[in-house]
Structure 1
Amino acid sequence: MAELVIRLEELEITMFLGIHDFERARPQRVLVSAEITVTGTDWTAGTFFDYDPVAAFIRSFNGTRIDTQEELVSRIHAFVRAREGVVHAAVASKKPDVYPDAKAVGVLLRG
C-alpha cells in the first residue's frame, strides 16, 4: 500500500518559549510545521488520516511556557507518532521574531 504524506505548514501559536530573559518576559510567535507519513488510508474507501487532532494539539500550547524548542517539538512529535497509521513524522518549530537580522531560528525533529 502506498504511503501518504500530510503537511501542516507554519501553524502560528503564541507562547512563552525560550531560556533568555527577553523570551521569558513576553509571549512570542512560534510557527510549527509537521510532515506526517501515514499508511492504511484509502479515500475511496472512506479511510483517511484526520489531522484536526494534530492541529488542535499544537494550538493547545498557546499561552503556555516551555524552555526550549527541542522540548516543544519532542512533545508534538510524540503525539503525532502515537496516532494510528503514522509511520514517520517530522516536526519543526521556528521563532521568527528572535533576531532582527534573521528570518527565524528553529528546530527540526525527524523519526
Structure 2
Amino acid sequence: MAEMIIRLEELEITMYLGIHDFERARPQRVLISAEITVTGTDWQAGKFFDYDPVAEFVRAFNGTRIDTQEELVSRIHAFVHSREGVVHAAIWSKKPDVYPDAKAVGVVLRG
C-alpha cells in the first residue's frame, strides 16, 4: 500500500516557552511544523487523513506554559502518532524571536 506524506508548515502559536526569566515573562511566537507519513488513504474511496485535529491540538497550546521545546514537540508527536494510519512523523518547533542575529532556534523529533 502506498504512503502519503502530509505537511503542516509553520503554524504560528503564541505561548510561554522556555526556562529563562525573559521567556517566562511574556509569551512568544512559536512556529510548529509536521511531516506525517500515513497509509490507508484512498481519496477515491473517501479515505483520507484528517489533519484538522492536528492543527487544533497545536492551536490549543496558545497561551500555555511549557519549559522546553523538547517537551512541546514530544507532546505533539505523541498526539500525531495516536491518529489512525500514521506510520512516521517528524515534528519541529521554532522560536523565531530568540536571537536578533538568527532566523530561529528549533527542535525536531522524528520517529
The answer to whether the superposition gives a TM-score over 0.5 is: yes
- Could you list the structure 1 runs, at least 4 aligned residues long, displaced by more than 2 angstroms after superposition: none
- TM-score, length-normalised on structure 2? 1.00
- The number of equivalent residue pairs is 111
- 1:34-84 Cα offsets, whole Å, 9 max, x none, are 000000000000000000000000000000000000000000000000100
Equivalent residue, structure 2, for 1:75: 75
SS in 1 for 2:54: helix
Distance 1:57 1:13 in 2: 11
Percent identity over the alignment is 87
Unaligned runs of 5+ in 2: none
Give the whole-Å Cα distance in 2 for the aligned partners of 1:19 and 1:102: 19
Q: Gaps spanning 5+ residues in structure 1: where?
A: none
Q: CA deviation at 1:87?
A: 0.1
Q: What are the residue-to-residue correspondences of 1:18-33 with 2, within 5 Å?
A: 18-33=18-33
- Name the CA distance, whole Å, in 2 between partners of 1:55 and 1:84: 16
Alpha-carbon distance in 1 for matches of 2:47, 2:24: 43
The equivalent of 1:37 in structure 2 is 37
Residues 77-108 of structure 1 deviation map (CA, whole Å, 9 limit, x = unaligned): 00000100000000000000000000000000
| Cα distance between partner residues in 2 of 1:33 and 1:46 | 26
Aligned twin of 1:66? 66
DSSP 3-state at the match of 2:47 = coil
Root mean square deviation of aligned Cα? 0.2
